[in-house]
């Protein structure tokens, strides 16, 4: 009996140390390769390269679109973000603040929140959601002493939902932090109506001063940098750069513009159309022709998604390449950036924090019908890149023109960097 037991143990030990079959080894190897694919960007939101992170119908249904705790204007805004109907840092931030203003304006109102129906949302579900939301908060807060404090609590699920639709930009985060700080300073002795009016006033003032007036001031300062005979190169489309070029043209300055563009957005096409319609002489090229065009360019002007405290620029992917080539030709690179886009954080590489857009923008089914089923194929559609400060000569802000190394000074003066 003892010998039998010993024999069985010996067989188990031998089996445990037997080499795996070729099929099991290949399966494990395949799993390891799959896990190692795109690992540098696996931490980014929407980093799946075989799906559609922002615009697929499957991902749309993962968000709480029909949640009765969300106002209809926030649901509608999430739909617009997800389908890229609102693009650009300024436009996205203004749309967010407008939606929050609409929410607070209807706060504690007895009736339904008025909705504007769009093609990408359900009118029935939004109306039902708005009615439930308005009635719920009217009942729940009838005895509340602080509308502002309660609004801050209800703000979090709204932002969580919008972040699921598309990651917030640096500027949107700064705007929300400012709004929260101002709401936190409101006196609890104010009535609900007074608190609501104060919050609306804060939102309107931020949009007017930090975005609209700032963009206008930056455009004016940038237009002064354009001289007769200049050849201005710009990349994609920036609202500040576009306004600066328009202002210089209005002042009868004689210059040319080289619009550099790239896939998949081809945003420069709209800029070229607008500039050429006003009589400005334009040349439209793709990014692979930058080096050739730089031989005659005198200045490069680009917009910004964000500027970090270490002086680097985050902007539309491709901006770093344009700035690097311009630097090699000793062409000054000017960045137009509102100070509310400044971040106290630092970033050295685009791999640290970025956004991954829908891979279907880069590859069409006409070219490769079953590309999303190929485990050997990755399609990575990054939205932004990082331009080192050594490639940037000047940052044009509403507060003045400064080198990128002076960004921490502005942050300290605004009490953003503590």
| Strand, coil or helix: 303 | coil
- 17: preceding bond cis by omega (within 30 degrees): no
For residues 130 and 112, give the distance between their C-alpha atoms in angstroms, rounded to a whole number: 6
% residues pLDDT > 90 (the chain): 55
pLDDT, the chain, mean: 80
Per-residue pLDDT tens for 282-328?
A: 999 999 999 999 999 999 999 999 999 999 999 999 999 999 999 99
Average pLDDT on 213-241 reads 97
The reported pTM is: 0.79
- Angle (nearest 5°) at CA 28 between 25 and 32: 135
- Alpha-carbon span 394 to 225, nearest angstrom: 11
Q: What is the DSSP secondary structure assignment for residue 382, as one 8-state letter?
A: B
Tens digit of each residue's pLDDT (9 = 90 or more) over 95-147: 999 999 999 988 755 433 333 333 444 444 444 444 444 444 444 444 345 78
- pLDDT of amino acid 191: 87
Note whether 103 and 84 are within 8 A (CB): no
Average pLDDT over residues 225-243: 97
C-alpha distances in angstroms, 353 versus 45, 123, 306? 9, 36, 12
Contact 375, 29 (CB under 8 A): no
Distances (CA, A) of 332 to 163, 292, 353: 36, 17, 27
Q: So what's the pLDDT on residue 406? A: 94
pLDDT in tens, 327-374: 999 999 999 999 999 999 988 777 778 888 888 888 866 667 677 777
- Cα dihedral sign, 175-176-177-180: positive
SS3 content of the chain, % helix, strand, coil (to 5): 50, 10, 40
């Amino acid at each position: 009996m003892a010998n039998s037991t010993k024999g069985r143990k010996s067989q188990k030990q031998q089996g445990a140390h037997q080499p795996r079959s070729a099929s099991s080894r290949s399966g494990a190897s395949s799993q390891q390769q799959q896990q190692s694919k795109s690992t540098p960007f696996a931490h980014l939101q929407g980093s799946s390269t075989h799906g559609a992170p922002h615009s697929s119908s499957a991902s749309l249904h993962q968000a709480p679109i029909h949640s009765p705790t969300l106002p209809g204007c926030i649901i509608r805004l999430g739909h617009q973000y997800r389908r890229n109907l609102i693009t650009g840092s300024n436009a996205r931030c203004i749309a967010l603040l407008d939606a929050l203003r609409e929410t607070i304006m209807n706060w504690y109102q007895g009736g339904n929140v008025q909705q504007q129906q769009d093609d990408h949302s359900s009118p029935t579900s939004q109306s039902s959601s708005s009615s439930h939301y308005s009635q719920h908060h009217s009942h729940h807060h009838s005895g509340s002493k602080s509308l502002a404090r309660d609004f801050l609590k209800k703000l979090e699920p709204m932002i969580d939902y919008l972040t699921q639709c598309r990651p917030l930009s640096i500027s949107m985060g700064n705007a929300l932090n400012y709004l929260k700080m101002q709401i936190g300073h409101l006196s609890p002795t104010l009535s609900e109506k007074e608190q609501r009016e104060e919050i609306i006033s804060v939102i309107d003032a931020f949009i007017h001063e930090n975005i609209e007036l700032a963009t206008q001031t930056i455009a004016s300062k940038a237009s002064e940098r354009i001289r007769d005979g200049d050849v201005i190169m710009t990349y994609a489309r920036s609202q500040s750069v576009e306004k600066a070029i328009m202002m210089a043209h209005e002042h009868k300055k004689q210059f040319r513009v080289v619009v550099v563009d790239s896939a998949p957005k081809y945003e420069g096409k709209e800029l070229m159309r607008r500039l050429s319609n006003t009589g400005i002489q334009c040349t439209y090229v793709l990014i692979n022709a930058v080096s050739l065009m730089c031989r005659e360019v005198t200045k490069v002007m680009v917009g910004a998604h964000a500027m970090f405290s270490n002086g680097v620029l985050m902007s539309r992917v491709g901006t770093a390449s344009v700035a690097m080539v311009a630097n090699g030709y000793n062409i000054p690179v000017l960045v137009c950036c509102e100070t509310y886009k400044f971040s106290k954080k630092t970033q050295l590489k685009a791999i640290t924090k970025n956004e991954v857009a829908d891979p279907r923008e880069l590859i069409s089914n006409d070219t490769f019908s079953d590309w999303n089923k190929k485990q050997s194929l990755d399609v990575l559609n990054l939205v932004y890149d990082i331009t080192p400060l050594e490639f940037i000569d000047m940052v044009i802000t509403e507060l003045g023109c400064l080198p990128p190394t002076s960004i921490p000074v502005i942050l300290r003066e605004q009490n953003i960097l503590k």
